[in-house]
Structures are given as C-alpha cells and as structure tokens.
Structure 1
Amino acid sequence: MNTINTMANKTLALIIGASILSAGVGASAVAAYYSKSGSSEPVAEEQMNADISGVSGDTSSDLMKYMDTTAGTRAVSPESAFKEETVYVIAGREGSVKKIIVSDWIRNTAGKTGVEDVSELPDISILKDGESFTMGGGNTRVWDTTNDDIYYQGNIEKELPVDMKVSYFLDGSPITPEELIGKSGRVTIRYEYKNNTSVTKEIDGKQETLYVPFTMLTGVLMDNAVFSNVSVSNGKIVNDGSRTVVVGFAFPGLSEDLGITPDKMAIPDYVEISADCVNFSLGMTVTIASTELLNQIDPDKLSGGALGTGAAGSGADGSEEPLDLNASMKELTDAMDQLIDGSSDLYDGMCTLLTKSEELVDGVNKLADGAVKLKNGTAAVDDGAGKVDKGMGDLYAGMSELDSHSAELNDGAKKVFESLLATAQEQLTAAGISVPKMTISNYSEVLNNVIKSLDDSAVYQQALETVTSAVEGKRDYIRSQVTAAVQSEVESQVTSAVKAEVSGKVTAAVRQQVETAVTASVRESVLAKVLESQGMTKEQYEQGIAAGAIDSSTQQKIEGAVDQQMKTSEVASLISQNTDAQMETAQVKNQINAAIDQQMASSDVQKIISSKVSETMASSDIKALIDKNTDAQVEKAISETMAGDEVQSKLKAASAGAQKVIALKASLDGYNAFYLGLLDYTGGVRKVLAGAGELKKGTSDLKKGTKQVKDGMAELCDGILTLKDGLPALVEGVTKLRDGSMQLSDGMKEFNEKGIQKLVELVDGDLAGVVTRLRATLEVSKEYCNYAGIADDMDGSVKFIYKTEEIEG
C-alpha cells in the first residue's frame, strides 16, 4: 500500500492516474491534494475576501472546506515582490458570466520602498488602510509603501481563460434550471469546460499549440432531504448525514497537450453529477480553476524514460534522482499482486474469526450465569444494611422528640414576632409610609429611618419622588399618545397636499379631453360655414367626394380654409369659452371628483402618502416636537398629582404619624428582648441532639454504599446480558465482513485489470513523446501566473473561483 501512495505522488502518475481512476478510485487522491494546509497568512485571507459580494456565506464556506487550493502555491522569493491573485467569477445558473471581481495581494517580502505594479483593472478598491499609489503609463501603479503587503480589488470585463457551461437533464431530457425547480426524478447536471488560453511551443522541431493546463475542481453541496443516490463521473462524494458534498475534477485541453487519444486514456474535460431528486432546489456551486497542481512538477527533472518530482529519492550526493517510470510500473504491478494476495489472506482470516466466534458465545453465556448469582448476593447485603439504618432512624426519632418542643416554641415565638412586624408594616402602609419589608433583624433600623424622615420637608420630597417615579413609569405610554396625535396631524396634512397635487393632474387631464372634444365640434361648425360659402352643405360635400366630383385640389383648399379659420383668435377664444363652460358642468365635475377619489384610493398613492408620513415622522423636527410635548405632558401630570387631595392629606398626617411610630418601636423592642432569651434556651437543647445525628449519618452512609454496590452489580449484570444478547449480531457482522472481504478481493482484481494494467500499457507505449510534451506543458503552466496584469520583474500565481447562482423558487 505504501508503494501505491508513493507512486500517486510522482509526476506522471499524478496526471494520468487521475483520469484512469476517475471512476471513483483516484478522485480521493486529487481531492486530498487540494485539502492540504497552505501557508497563506490569516490576515491576507481576510483582506482578499473583503467586500466580495456573492462569494461569502455558509454554503460557500462548507464547499471550500473540501476544495481548499492554498496547498502547493509557489515559493515566494525574498528578493522580489510576489503577486497572488484570486479571480471571482459570479455566474448564472447555466454558467453565463455576470461579473468578474479580481482580488490582488502583493507580498512585499523584499521590503522595497515604492513597489511597481501593473494591472488592467480600471478602478480599484484599496483593502488596507494607509496605502496609496501613483499612476504611471501603461497601466502602471507605483505603491507608496516601505515594507507592508498591499491588498486591493476591482471589477474587470475580459475573456476568461476557461469558459464553463452548465446543462441540466431530467430523466434524460434537457431542461432549463428554471423549469427544473420543484420537479422530481433522475436529474443530471453536466459541467463542461472550454479552455480558451493557448500558446505555441516548439516540440521535436514542430510548432505545436498547447493549452494552459488548468485543473477544474467543481463542488456541489446537496441536501439529503432533496437528493439521494448521488454519483459523479470523476470525483469524490462525502456524506455527513444531512448533506452530500460532491467534488468533481477535469483537465480541459490536457489530453491534446500530452497527445494522448481517448482510446488509450480518457482524461476528463467535464464533470457530470447525477442524483434522484424530490422537489428540486439547489444552492450555489463553486468551481476552482488553477494551474498549481501541475506547477508542483519540476520540468528539469523530466528526461527520456525517467521522470520525477522529488518524491523519487536522493542520490549519493544528497541531490534528487529522477524517477525511472518503467521500473516504477513494475514496482506498482508487484504491489498490486501483493494486495491481491493480501485480500485473499484477509478472506481466510475472516473465516477463522467466524469459527472462533462460536467459542466466544459459549464463554459469554457462562459469564452471564455467574453475574446473575453475584447480583442476587449484593442485593441481600443491601437489604441487611437497610435494616441497620432503619434501627438507627428509630433511635434518632426518639431523641428528636425531646427536641421537638423546643423547635415548636422557637417557631411559635418567631411567628408571633413576625405577626407583630406584619401588623406594624400594615399600619405604616395604611398611614401612607412606604418602607422595606421589616424582619426581626432589620426592624429597628427601618423604624429609626422612618422617624427621621417624618418631618415636613422630608415627607414632601418623598411624595414628590414617588409621584415622579410613577409618572415616569408611564412615560412610554404618554409618548405613544403624543406620537399618535402628531402622526394623525401629519397624515392629515400629507393627505391634503397629495390630494391637491392629484386634483391638479386629474383636472388638467380631463380639461385636455374636454378641449379636444370642443375643438372637434368647433371644427365641424367652421367646415359647415366654409362649405356654405361654396354653395354646398356638408352632406353634399361628403357625397361629392365619394362620387369623385370634388377633386383633391378642391378638398385641400377647403381644408386649408378650415385650418386658417381654426387659427384665428376668435375661434381660439370660442374653444376656450366652450371648454370653460364644459368644465363647470356637473357631469365633468363629477367625472373629475370620481377620478380624484379613484387615484387617492389607489395603492400607488397610498404608498406615497405612507412613505411621506414615515419620512416626516422620522425627521428631526417631528422627533424634537414629540420629545417636547412628551416632557410637557409628564410635567403636567406630576404637578396635577402633587396638587391632588391624596398627596396633600398625607403631608398633613406626617407629623402625627412620627409620634405613633416611636411608640410602635418601643413595643417591638420589648418583645425582641423576650425572643432573644428564648433562642438561648432552645439552642442548648439542640446541642444534645447533635451527637445522635452524627451516629444516624454513619448508618445512612453505610446504606448508600451498599446500595451503590448493588446498583453497580445490577448494571454489570445487565451489561453482560446485553453483551450476550448482542453476540448473534456480532456473529452476523463477522459473517458480513467475511463476505465483504471476498468482494474486496474480487474488486482488487478488477482494479488491477481496468486501472493499473492500463497505466502500465500507457507507459510501455510512446513514453518519450509523452514526456517531451509534458515538459512543454509544464513550462506553459508555470508561465501563466496572472490574469489582470503583472509587472515584468514580479512573480505571481492566480486561481479562478466560479460561483453559480442558486436554483430555488
């Protein structure tokens, strides 16, 4: 197994193995590559993701846990700045691009003063306070910094290096995402990637077009209440019980770059996800495009029949040796033979385990019988301890009888004292004096304070504070009443203003209609007069036109004469007078009023009124008016209450009440002296009882201990019986493991035939040609380090994150 893991990390196996194992075996290796922890600083992530609308959220965070691409980023040179760029593509449900957001992080590792940067972004937002720049020619910006990193972002309209198209199918038939909402059946979502970025390289003396080798990683978070039986063409599925995470991968253009035809090996350039769904809905999906997977391969270590990445091993001088792929394929084949042999041994071992399980069943049965006997014995011990405890309880009860009268005496005396205090409290309350609840310990201090407070000025101030507190407690209610009154007035004024505006517009519209009708009527009259001057009536004129007796020239002259008459001031005055007269008729006025009422009742006008009322009520002037009127009403309520008969009568009774309180305190002091003497007497009786109590506690502890032993033994017995009951399930489970190990053995043989042997066949073919094209492809991958622009003396890296719109009703 270690041999396979080592090979999976080596150069060609990393690329070709992903496609061979895309049926489900190798997807975990690619996903694992993207789940390694990166070295990006936390502050950088916070800056890079700031203000990226449409990318953040719970669903995005959950998907990115499975699609972290921070691993394997290029090493940052300490001598020059490094530009790390993330491109966020906000896409529609079918992959159409709606918005592209570029977020850049320039690492000023060299601590340069004035970092020169190139960017095609027309406008940028600086994400870190205190940074600034000076524009130069050719999209150049010189950042005014000494040693700080630089963070900025902006929008751009530019062709993406990879286009993504998302298609949807329900029960095998194409369907739009909008039509798919709420449907049920077998749904298929297909992500197709078109590589738009290529360069020309010389390979074996020929000019060849090579695509930039992007790795596309698409993640979808599926609700298990909606989706089941999920599958993916090339990827990995993780189910946490409530949701299923599907991560698929593809390499658009890589098969062309390596010159590998589909009949030899199908390198995936699309991802297809299928599932049974009920009431379809789907959240956002995330696709990541990056060249960093292939950037981990060093093209300088590729040669003829050998290639390597650094996992191949070290030479005698400590340097890395290239990997002999032909030898490694033999090693991989040998390892698979060992796995197949091991799976057969596993099956034999499971058969032995099943046989030994029967012996285990016999032993557990004997253990259960002994546990039942031990349980019965501990129960008998606990019963004896209970009898001892009961005897001590009877002894303690007898001694308690001696103390019971003392307790009753103490309690009775206390109740009498508390009754006296309660009566005194009621008398003070009836006299209008509010004091804390009096107890045996605080009554003296409380009454002394009352005596001090019962002078004229103190009583008045107390009454004022009480009244003010009561009124202030109703301030919110007073404010609500004031607000309601103000709002009613505001609504009235706003409604009147809006109605006036509506009335003007409606009247103008109706007048236009009336004026049009009056103008038409006047024109008819003018036409009749013009025709009369020509010796004909309107009927004769219309008949002549119909019979062709009146030519067009004559018609034009007549119409011209009419138009000339219509332009005269007399006719215009006549139209205006007739229009005014019509506007004054009851019919037109009723029409206007009805239209005004209809407009005022419409939802649009009501919304305008409501909006203006809300706006006016929110203004500082109205709020200040409400505050002012509320304060005035509060002061008024306080003044009226203080002047009332109730408060005034209490002020007069304060002086006489002081003498009564003094006499009340003297009476209570006398009873307190008696009560304290009684407590001293009963306390001595209590000490005699304490010794008997300690003895009773010991027997109680003994009973508790024996009960714990009995309960523990009962739990142990129950556990053993549960184990006994569970043995049939254990035997059944071992049987299933035996059957599963047989399936594993068969599966390993199938994996060897369909996966490993295909990889061996490819390596045994034109390996030299594949290595040559791979070296050129890796050079193209490393050269592509930016999307929106980068300075010539600056290195960098770039990744693209595509987010599609949710499909929900």
Structure 2
Amino acid sequence: MVKKNLFRYSSVLMCVVLTAASLVGCGANTAATTGTDTAYVTEMAAGSTEATITQAITNELAVSNKSTLATNTRQETVYVFNDASGNKNHITVNEKITDANGNETLNKTESSENAPVTMKVTYKLDGKEIKPEDLAGKSGKVTIRFDYTNNQKKTVTINGKKQTVAVPFTMITGMMLPTDVFSNVEVTNGKLTKVGDNIVAVGMTMPGLKDTMNLKFNDKSLDLDIPEYFELTADVKNFSLDMTMSVATSNLLSDMNADDITLDDLKKTVASLDDAATQLADGTVTLQDGTQQLSDAIPALTDGVDQLNTGASSLKDGIYAYADGAASAYEGSVSLNDNMKTYADGIGTLYNTLKDNNLDSSVASAAKGAGDLAAGAATLDAGIDSALSGAGALVTGAKSLTDGTGELATGAAALAEGADKIGGTLTSGMTEAKQKYDNAYDSFYQLAMAVIGGKLGYNPAAMTGEQKITAATTLANVGISATADITDENQCTKAAAFIMQNYNDTDITTGKIGIRTAMVSALTAKYAAADTEHKYTLDQLKAKANSDSDANLVAISSGLSQAYKAYGLLNDTMTSLTAGGENSFFNGITKLNEGAGQVNTGANALKAGIDQLSAGAGQLSAGSKQLKAGLGTLSTGLNTLSTSVGSFSTYKEGTLCSSLYALNLNAGKLQQEGTEALQSGLSQLTANNDTLKSGASQLADGTATLKDSSGTLADGVTQLNEGAITLKDGMAQFNSEAIEPITKLVDSDAQTAVDTIKAVVKAGQEYNSFLGKSDDKAGSVTFVYKTAGITANK
C-alpha cells in the first residue's frame, strides 16, 4: 500500500506538468507528423512566427495558466534574448504591479543577471555537428537539440539530511517549420501541430527535476522518466529557420497543496511497533551521540591549530619587516655618525684655531695697549699744557714729545696689526660657527622631517618625493624652515621648542610619534639585540634607553643653542668693533696709527720749527684733548671685548672661550659615545637578521605541518563517528528486518520521497520574482526566451 501511495504522489507531480502539455501519458516522449495525434489551430494564428508559436505554447499551458492575480499583485515577464546557439544576449524584464485598488503600474528593467534556466542549442547535418551560421542554405538530415540547465536550486533538510532541490521549472519550446523546407519531422519529448502550411513543434521538459526526484523505495529507485531535453529531426531543403520561443515557469504547481501529501495515517497504525524498535536501538544511539560529541569538538581543535598557524605566519611577516627596519636604521645611523663626526671635527678646528692664535691674549694685549695709549695721551695733554705755560720749557718738551710720538707711532702700528688679527679671527670664527650651526640644524631638520612624516602616516625611512614636500610644507606652517639661518634669533628657539613639543608624544592611534619615544624604541631594540652577556631585563633596557635618549636630545638641543650663542657673541663683538662707520674701532685704530705717524712727523717738524709750535700751541692743546678722549673710549671698548672673550686657560660661563671649550668637548663626546655607539649597536643588531628570519620561517613551517596533521586527526574522528553511525544504522536495520512483516508498510524511504515531493512543490511556489523583490504582494514570474533564427546571407 505504501509503495502504491508513493507512486501515486509522484505521478501527481509529473502529470500536473505533462498533462498540461497534452503529451501522450506521463511518460510519452516522441511524436511525428504522421498519425492521428496531429492537431490543428485556427488559420488566424499563422499571421507571424512569433504569434503562431505563442498561440501554440498558450494552448499547451491552458490547463494551469489561469491567472488568479487580481489586486495587490506583482507579475514579472522576463524576456531572454539568445543567439542561435542559445547564448544570452540580453535580458529585459516587464513588471506589472497591481495595487489593492486595482490600479496598474508598468515598469521595464534591463538586467545583467542570468536566467535561472539556461539553454544550449546544437545542430547536426547528416549526423555531424555544424555551426548554425554554416547550416543556412544546406540540405539533408538535420537534428536540432535543446539542452536545458536548471541553475535555480536550494538546499533543504529532508529526513535529517541535506538535499539539493531544483525549482520545478517547466520549459516549453516552440518552433515553426515551413513545410517547403522541413519534412518527415520527428520530435523527442514534444509534439507536432499543423498550422496552415507550417508545422509547429512544441517540446516540454523539466530540467533538473530528475536529479531531485531520484527517489527510492526499499532501496529501489523509482526511476522516474522526466525529460530534460527537446530534440527535433527532419529532412530539409535549403535550410532556414525563423526565431524559436521558449517559456519557463514554476507556477504550474502553485495550486497543489503540499500538506495533502502525507503518511500520517499509516504511521499512527504502527506507532507502537516503532516505539519498541526505538528502545532496542537506544544503546547504539547513545554510542553515536558520544562519537558525535567528539566529532563536534574537532572543529574547535582544528580552528585553534589554524589560528596558531595564522599567528606564526603573521609573526614571520612581522620579523621580516622588523629585520628590514633594523637594516634601514643601521644605514641611517651610519649617515648620522658621519655627519656628527664632521660637526665635532669642525667645532674642534674652530676651537683650536682660535686658541692657537691666542685670541684671548691678543684681545687682552690690545686692551692693555689702549690703556697705555690713553695714559700717554693724558701725559701728552699735560705736556702740551706745560708747553703753553713756558716757552723756555718748550724745547725740552719738544724733545720729549718727539721721543713720545715715536713710541706712539710704534705702539699704534702694533695696535693696528693686532686689530687686523682680531678682525680676521672673528670673521673666521663666525664663518666656522655658522657652518657648524648649519650642519647641526640640518641634522635637527632631518629628525623633524621623520617625526612629521610619521604623524602624516608615512614611512619616515622611505618617504617619496611628494611625501617629503608635504612634510616640509607642514613644518614650514609651524615655523620650522628647511634652511638654517643663524642670524634668525627665533630659529634656534623654535627648534628647541619643536623638540620639547614632540618630546613624549606617543599617541600611535593618531599617527603621532614622539622624538624621545622613537629614540627610546630604537635604543631599546638595539640594546636588547646587542646584549648577550648581562641579559638585562626589559625595564633595565628601557631605563638605559631613556637615559641615553635624554642625553642625546639634550646634546642636540645644547649644540644648537651653543652654536647660536657662539655666533651671536662673535657677531656682537664684530658689530661693536665695526659700529660707528668712520668712528668704528677698526677705523679708529687705523686713524690712530695714521695720527701717530702724523704726530711723530709733526713733533719732528715742531722740533725744527719751535717758533711755529709756540704759535699753534693752542690748537695743539685742543687736539691733544680730543686724542685723550678718543683713546679713553678705545680703552673702554677693548676692555669690554677682552671680558667677553675671556681666557682659554680659565673657564667662565658665558665667555666666548669657555663656550667654545664646552661645545668642542660635548660635540666629540656625542659623536663617540652617541652616534658611533648607535651605529655599532645597529650593526650588531642587523648581524642576527638572517638567523631571526630563518627561525621565524621554521616556526611557520612547523605550524603549517601541525595544521595538516590536525586535518588527518579530524578525518580519523570523522571515520570513527561514521562507524558509530553505521553501527546504529545496522541495529536499526536489524530491527527493521526483524519486524518487517509488521512495519513494512512504512519506512524512511517512503517519508523521504514524500518530503522530497513537498520540497519540490514548495520551491516552485516560493520562486515568484526574478528581480528578487520581497513584499506583501503576491508575485508570479514567467520567462520568455527568444532564440535567433538562421537565414542565409543574400
């Protein structure tokens, strides 16, 4: 009885489709032009190829094509335009929406999606396949075959198992065959109809349904014959073929109530027998539950191994990136150390040059000579005054005057020579200080570019030209110039402020990278890689890196400040010595030298012409007083210069000599203990790069092997679980075979078959929109395929 019911349900599904097509029985698949099954339609239907085919297909669908869509509905007609081989050209969708009041809205849409059912059309001439364009105009035995592929499928659970169910599309293809071209026509899975002087061939298939309906009863297949292709053979003369049309719809089963298909009544009859059989199999079910739990736990294990393998791979990538970064850092440290050495050497050269040229003693000597000159000028003035008081003493005074003016000329010449040395030394010192300041500022600017580049999200070690321009513009906007200008009193202050502002900026999430943080990180990594003896802790390494980075930053900032101060001091000194134009220190020395010579000449002339001297004594007294005042100013200025210069032998804060001493000392120390040590440490760090990379690769390879092995373990557990399932099924089979005389009326195969039929019906009812629209409107969709004809080129 069960087998009979199962066949009945399957026949209902098939006959709903096949009866709609008026085929001969549910399994009829061949028709010919001869015999009594040739049907005729009205002559009016032969007006055109499309109209004739449409009429024939409409007649075939008349059984189940009743429209129940009235209001609040959506009807889609999808036109698929194919070439002669069945390949899609384009798709147009006409959408008709009827609201609750019966008002209609029409929409037209072009779609790039593929239709759920695709077709392939092949042609043969006298048994050999031929391209459609080559068939035009030929004569002979022609075979045309339409193969359909159902691509609209869904996965459902039937009787506890996953199963693929195809949406039950009914595919009807119509062709109009002129009798003057086609004769002896035969079709497979279709029928023939005579319309005027033409033969209309109609084929019907349900692609994909045969695989879905691969039903079994007591392990025996029902072997339902469901057509999936349509084929036509004919004798032709001068072959040509107008367009063919196909219609695909899943609506033919929409009126079937799947809930009416059931085995519940039979199941109730044998319910008590099922309970007894279930108790007998409980033991094997419990065993299978245990193996299932083990099998369910395996994915967590394999996931963990996968995560470990992924982490090892990421670690490998990180170590490779770290090694590349360490190499780049080493190259940068080499350049930094070379620049620092040049800077330190330059400061040393400046310091030694000024010291070897006795700048301090020369300035002191010049100050003492000016004092002596001032005292001499006072004496001269007093002598002139005495000369005015007595002509008798004038001769003796004239002799003393000539002797004094001779000494004055000698001292003035020496003073002029010393002034020239001072000017040359100051000029050289300013040039040297400016060069060192430029070098120091360039090093600072490179550091500032790296910091700004990091904040902008660039790689500081590999910025492109465009990125460098952006970074330089950003620095310029905050007042940091790319060009060193030692005369700009704000530049050094802004550089120091930039270092302080970016000293501890560590907000990585916003791209900010602090100067001190970057230096501490680099020093920490360097010390950690270089330390192979003491094994310092991370805190100890960070403490040492913090200490050294602070010292380095202080040295850089101090170097800029001291270079600026040194230049400023030299420049101020030079300015004070050249201030006043014609009355400047250097011009005064020159004039003093010239004046001393003139005084000496005048004194000699005075000795020769004492009478003239007596007559001009008043004028000489006035000039002597001016000379006394000028020499007093000169003496004061040189004393101030001497105090500012200081001494190379005695350290005093703020003096030129002491500042150059400190700058020279710290520059060399920074180069030897800072940049040179940094270069050495990074060299040792990069020496281990290959070993580190090799270890990371071995680790990644090991975790990959572990991952592969975990798959083997998973397969073993799966086999164990399948064995438990087999045991459980064997017990169930034993129970079934033991009580088969009583329970053979119903089994899992029957229920599976019923559930499969229900799933097919439901899949057809649920597919109601090609556009994928989902709302409260009742939907339907019909596909119309228009396949290009074949005609000979004229």
Flag whether TM exceeds 0.5 (same fold): no
TM-score normalized with structure 1 length? 0.33
Q: Which has the larger radius of gyration?
A: 2
